[in-house]
Amino acid sequence: MSAQDFLVELGTEELPPKALNTLADAFLAGIEKGLQAAGLNFETKHVYAAPRRLAVLITALETQQPDRSINLDGPPRQAAFDADGNPTQAALGFAKKCGVDLSEIDQSGPKLRYSQSIKGKPTASLLPTIVEDSLNDLPIPKRMRWAARKEEFVRPTQWLVMLLGDQVIDCTILAQKAGRDSRGHRFHHPQSVRITSPANYLADLRAAYVLADANERRELISKRTEELATLQEGTAIVPANLLDEVTALVEWPVPLVCSFEERFLEVPQEALITTMQDNQKYFCLLDAEGKLLPRFITVANIESKDPQQIVAGNEKVVRPRLTDAEFFFKQDKKQPLESFNERLRNVVFQEKLGSVYDKAERVSKLAAFIAPRIGGDAQRAARAGILSKCDLSTEMVGEFPEMQGVAGYYYALNDGEPQDVALALNEQYMPRGAGAELPTTLTGAAVAIADKLDTLVGIFGIGMLPTGSKDPYALRRAALGVLRILIDKQLDLDLNDAVAFAVNAFGSKVKAAGLADAVLEFIFDRLRARYEDEGVDVATYLSVRALKPGSALDFDQRVQAVQAFRKLPEAAALAAVNKRVSNLLGKAEGNIAATVEAKYFDNANEFSLYSAIQQADQAVQPMAAARQYSETLARLAALREPVDAFFEAVMVNAEDANVRANRYALLARLRGLFLGVADISLLG
């Protein structure tokens, strides 16, 4: 079967840069879906996207749809005809469904059957519908109309190229009649560009100053930006999302170095970087020590004969932005950071939970409670807590919301606060996402944990639990943040005590009954997903969860120990034994002796197991005290042999009540050793 390359390019006004990649990928996916549904094979697929165009190239596409047959089974013959041989509604309905008369239905088999052979159509006749359907299915939140047309798209369309080999596909889509003429760069080559063939698409546009391949533009921008930064003896900050956005803004990228006055460097560099990245789409430069250089890189969309004009224009535009940041910074520093708390008395945190200042007071007290328990300083944690929300009412954060925490850090240093107190004002928000940076100071860790626990307890306490995908107060992220700080930084905090303290701090504002248990359950449930991501079996998590450890660090140490234990050859048998013992003890209903009495033993295997348990108990006690859980379980694995021998030779439910109770006591001792780490009966 013959094959030809297929190209479709839709030309538009400038597309939304942040959505360009998504639109391009969806366009390709839609066309591929349509081709597969039509039974059309091809070799490769490519998608191209630039500010004014979306294009898809399919190589070696079959030019003729293959013939296919349809076989539909209908109702059984006895249901299709009555006793007199007349067709029933079931038969007539099946014929109607097939779009034919009943006489055309095969009635010779046990069921009615309709078979039809459908001749394949030329690919050229199928492509307009495939392309149109793909465009209609693009993820466009809000479509627009233009002029007096009824067609709708994300931006007004300007031209359409559709080629199958050398043939132009005759169609009109989104008010554009298909042809082979595209358009070049808006300024370098505003006239039309004739696409000689689908395979020459990129080359034809490159000659017209358009790099249609987004990957090529992205790589060019990245490489040239790095080269320019090196020439400036710096390193460019190139966030992936900013690089994608800049790539989507230009057709012919030309990176250029610009500068600004050094006096602006007195402003926190985070504010300068934020405004240059978010508002101007610039790449900022850092020196070898991570300090901002008074230079930045802009990416022009034109190869100017006088690039200095573009540089001067960008320097002129950025100056007011930096001046604003400088003004806000100087204004805020005219008063102590703590004074901004007065404004927060009138800012509502949550209607039922009080103001943001109320939250700061609670966080201060809770942080002071937590700090000494994780090795920190209570007074510094309390100080950081009371200052933690101050910068929310500053001019700087009002203009640059991303500066919350960071602004507080600089203002605290300006007021002479200790370094760890200042750092804590930013570290309270850490981690800001999955895998993000954790607090570096114990003061910061205490405030971060306190802030998150306060939110969890407060929101749970007024009954606003997260449901499904709705989590307006980011409680899941808060719980995960607490766990990450405690586990990854090896901080041993009993969350039972901390949560109970947080509940008491709210007083009558929350419903305290059962609140602490609900919050703790929610927090430790987050660990399940964490361990699943790490490849830890759910049963391992559940075996530790059954013991309800209050410390996240302790919980994690037990999980790691059980995970290691499961790899031992004795693990499966001991898990099964623990399950059997658990069931036996569950049915004992109090018929268990307080202590094990050797005088009731009547079997050598009972003596052997008792002796092995006593030796194991002595060995693991110091291990358990030191939380050497892996070593504990490895030592207990040696009990397999005497345990197996015991169950082979001994009838636990002996007729003599004293003997039976004594054997239950022996098994309870055995199970108690393992429960010192986890309930391994759940591993079976």
Rounded Cα distance, 27 and 201, in Å = 17
pLDDT band at residue 342, thresholds of 50, 70 and 90? very high
Pick the closest to residue 58 from 132, 176, 162, 181 (CA basis).
162
Rounded Cα distance, 681 and 579, in Å = 4
What topology is assigned to 337-535 in CATH? Hypothetical protein af1432 (1.10.3210)
| Range(s) within the chain of domains with CATH label 3.30.70.260 | 3-65+123-208
Q: Report whether pLDDT(304) > 90.
A: yes
Q: For 125-152, what is the mean pLDDT?
A: 93
Rounded Cα distance, 183 and 161, in Å = 10
pLDDT digits (tens, 9 = 90+) for 248-296: 999 999 999 999 999 999 999 999 999 999 999 999 999 999 999 999 9
Left if phi > 0, otherwise alpha if psi is -120 to 50, otherwise beta: which for 581? alpha
pTM score: 0.80
Quote the percentage of the chain above a pLDDT of 70.
99
Helix, strand, coil in percent for the chain, rounding step 5 = 55, 15, 30
What are the CA-CA distances from residue 52 to residues 13, 128, 185, 363 (Å)?
A: 5, 21, 9, 51
Q: Report whether pLDDT(192) > 90.
A: yes
Backbone φ and ψ for 36, nearest 5 degrees, come out as: -65, -40
Q: Which two tokens stand for residue 364?
A: 């201060």
| Range(s) within the chain of domains with CATH label 1.10.3210 | 337-535
Q: Report whether pLDDT(312) > 70.
A: yes
- Contact yes or no for 159/176 (Cβ under 8 A): yes
pLDDT digits (tens, 9 = 90+) for 526-552: 999 889 988 899 999 999 999 999 999
What value does the mean pLDDT of the chain take? 92
- Confidence at residue 1, expressed as pLDDT on a 0 to 100 scale: 64
Backbone φ and ψ for 61, nearest 5 degrees, come out as: -85, 130
Q: For 195-199, what is the mean pLDDT?
A: 96
| Range(s) within the chain of domains with CATH label 1.10.730 | 559-682
What topology is assigned to 559-682 in CATH? Isoleucyl-tRNA Synthetase; Domain 1 (1.10.730)
Q: Report whether pLDDT(684) > 70.
A: no
pLDDT digits (tens, 9 = 90+) for 164-183: 999 999 999 999 999 999 99
pLDDT digits (tens, 9 = 90+) for 419-441: 999 999 999 999 998 888 999 99
- Confidence at residue 281, expressed as pLDDT on a 0 to 100 scale: 96
Task: Report the relative pairing of strands 235-236 and 192-194 from DSSP bridges.
Answer: unpaired
- Contact yes or no for 257/396 (Cβ under 8 A): no
β-sheet bridge partners, residue 286: 235, 292
- Contact yes or no for 318/271 (Cβ under 8 A): no
Task: Report the relative pairing of strands 157-164 and 3-12 from DSSP bridges.
Answer: antiparallel
What are the CA-CA distances from residue 225 to residues 50, 221, 280 (Å)?
A: 20, 6, 16
Q: Which residues contact 224 (CB under 8 A, 6 or more apart)?
A: 253, 255
What topology is assigned to 3-65+123-208 in CATH? Alpha-Beta Plaits (3.30.70)
489-494: Cβ within 8 A, 24+ apart: 489/438, 489/439, 489/445, 490/553, 491/374, 491/375, 491/445, 491/553, 492/373, 492/374, 492/551, 492/553, 492/554, 493/370, 493/373, 493/374, 493/449, 493/551, 493/552, 493/553, 494/373, 494/550, 494/551
pLDDT digits (tens, 9 = 90+) for 9-47: 999 999 999 999 999 999 999 999 999 999 999 999 999
pLDDT digits (tens, 9 = 90+) for 371-388: 999 999 999 999 999 999
